[in-house]
Amino acid sequence: MRAEIVSMTADNLDENAIARAGEILKKGGLVAFPTETVYGLGGDALNPLSSKKIYAAKGRPSDNPLIIHIADMDSLDRIVKEVPEKAMLLAEKFWPGPLTMIFQKSDQVPMETTGGLDSVAVRFPSDGVAAALIRAAGGYVAAPSANTSGRPSPTTAEHVEEDLGDAIDMIIDGGAVGIGLESTIVDFTEEVPVVLRPGYISLEMLKAVLGEVRMDKGLISPDSKIHPKAPGMKYRHYAPKAELSIVEGETEAVTEAINRFALAAEEREEQIGIIATEETFSRYPRGIVKCIGSREEEETIAHNLYEVLREFDQCQVSEIYSEAFYTPRMGQAIMNRLLKAAGHKIIHVQGEK
Ligand code: TXA
Ligand code: MG
């Protein structure tokens, strides 16, 4: 079976297709849909069989819990035990939006959806198409990113089709997403709220509302024996087929080093891939060079990261080298994804960043 593809935007909803998509979900089928972060692979969150289908379609380990997407605040009570006051503050500030919060789950949420955990991740997306679909489906849509497990998350409907076109019932094409990296996850099941995954909403933005907030230790020292608390963060993710390394240091030293790798590859009659920025693009005369965005507009780097990683899978490159992107606001989220894609291979060159 090939997924049916329907196109629409939030300003121009296809009500008919939304109603059909809602029916598919209510009957236990799977529908991929756009959100402001990445495309999601939706199933009925309260139906254990739907969650099982999601894991199967993605090839995802079933101990890796799903996020439940809601479309209004009143839906929250049914799926969680309680909502701490601080979480309400965050909801007021950032919902609907690219924020996921984790609470103790209620009995209504099947263990299949939470990967066997007593807690549940909840997100209230701002995308209008997502909201319409969630309402049509009865209010609770479980959705991981709509990629095959281990591949970069999808930022267009074409990416979804590439990975899951044969495994699901429908794909709603709402065009390219806005942000391009998955939501920030904050865990409220501990005394002090903990960031389990960095995203568009930065640690500083969270601190401004919450005061005290920690980063999960497994994120800070990913090479150590401490596992991240979000089960999904322990897997090697987003990985392109060619081996990816990050080259870090002063711009001058970074471009020189990458150009040396490019020359060495040419001498072996191979080509390397290079992830550059608008600011450095013209400094690389060899290799297949892709511009990820501008350091002056860091949102562009976040927006294009997964697309660039996917594009390299279509190219004949022996390895890929990327500059590092410790940009002021989204740098933490961008580097978290890039480091995972690179399996934490970093080449330090002379000089500091
Ligand atoms: O932006 C997003 O969050 C996208 C869109 C589709 O909403 N969704 C997404 O879902 O990124 P997924 O499944 O690819 O990533 C969810 C992450 C995983 O790392 C998972 O382990 C973690 O959230 N997670 C979910 N429930 C959890 C829980 N109860 N406790 C700890 N981690 C949890
Ligand atoms: Mg994912």
Q: For 5-53, what is each residue's pLDDT tens digit?
A: 999 999 999 999 999 999 999 999 999 999 999 999 999 999 999 999 9
Q: What is the reported pLDDT for 1?
A: 75
Radius of gyration of the chain (CA): 20
Q: Do 231 and 67 touch, CB atoms closer than 8 A?
A: no
Ligand 1 nearest-atom number relative to CA 100: 3
> Going by CA atoms, what residue is nearest to atom 17 of ligand 1?
232
Q: What is the reported pLDDT for 353?
A: 46
Q: Do 24 and 113 touch, CB atoms closer than 8 A?
A: no
Residue pLDDT, tens place only, 96-139:
999 999 999 999 999 999 999 999 999 999 999 999 999 999 99
Element (H, E) at 187: strand 184-187
For residue 289, how far is its CA from the centre of ligand 1 (angstroms)? Answer: 32
Q: Do 208 and 121 touch, CB atoms closer than 8 A?
A: no
CATH number for 4-219 (one of 3.30.565.10, 3.40.50.1360, 3.90.870.10, 3.40.50.10140): it is: 3.90.870.10
Q: What is the reported pLDDT for 328?
A: 94
Q: Please give the order of strands across the beta sheet that includes 119-123.
A: 4-7, 170-173, 31-33, 40-44, 141-142, 67-69, 119-123, 99-104, 184-187, 194-197, 214-215
Q: Do 273 and 320 touch, CB atoms closer than 8 A?
A: yes
Among 86, 299, 119, smallest CA distance to 206 is for 86
Element (H, E) at 77: helix 76-79
Fold of 243-348: Rossmann fold (3.40.50)
Tokens (6 digits) for 295: 């350091």
**pTM, entire model:** 0.96
Which residues does ligand 1 sit against, CB inside 6 Å? 35, 37-38, 40, 64-67, 100, 102, 114, 117, 119-121, 123, 143-145, 182-183, 185, 196, 229-233
Q: Kindly list the domain boundaries of the chain, sorted by start residue.
A: 4-219, 243-348
Q: What is the reported pLDDT for 221?
A: 65
Q: Do 246 and 271 touch, CB atoms closer than 8 A?
A: no
Amino acid 167 reads A
Terminal CA-to-CA distance of the chain, rounded, Å?
Answer: 50
Sign of CA dihedral 106, 107, 109, 112: positive
3-state SS assignment for residue 101:
strand
Q: What is the reported pLDDT for 224?
A: 58
List the alpha helices (DSSP H) in 216-347.
217-220, 251-267, 298-312, 331-341
Residue pLDDT, tens place only, 210-244:
999 999 988 876 555 678 888 887 766 777 889 99
Sign of CA dihedral 336, 51, 133, 73: negative
For residue 102, how far is its CA from the centre of ligand 2 (angstroms)? Answer: 16
Distance (Å, rounded) from C-alpha 213 to C-alpha 90?
A: 12
Pairing, β 141-142 against β 67-69: antiparallel
Q: Which residue among 118, 120, 145 has the greatest number of ligand 1 atoms within 8 angstroms of its CB, and so is best to mutate?
A: 145
